[in-house]
Amino acid sequence: RRSEAERLYAEGLTLFSGGDFVGAVETWNKVLALDPRFTPAAEGIESAQKQIDLQQRIRGSQSLEN
């Protein structure tokens, strides 16, 4: 169980570093389903959510400029 959580966590890191923040969140939620105390996954979700929010704000401001 722990090794599966670690594997999924690493997969989420790869997605995150590639800019797929939604995919990373989905993957890290699977980690937390396996091990709710896997703190790095919870922290990763928080970081990814901040990136998603930032991207949405940037898109919103760009659409106002056009």
CA geometry: angle 7, 15, 26, nearest 5 deg: 75
The tens digit of pLDDT for each residue in 23-43 reads: 999 999 999 999 999 999 999
Average pLDDT over residues 34-55: 97
> Taking 80 as the threshold, does the pLDDT of residue 54 lie above it?
yes
DSSP string spanning 13-61?
HHHHHTT-HHHHHHHHHHHHHH-TT-HHHHHHHHHHHHHHHHHHHHHHH
Average pLDDT over residues 12-33: 98
Q: How confident is the model at residue 10 (pLDDT cuts 50, 70, 90)?
A: very high
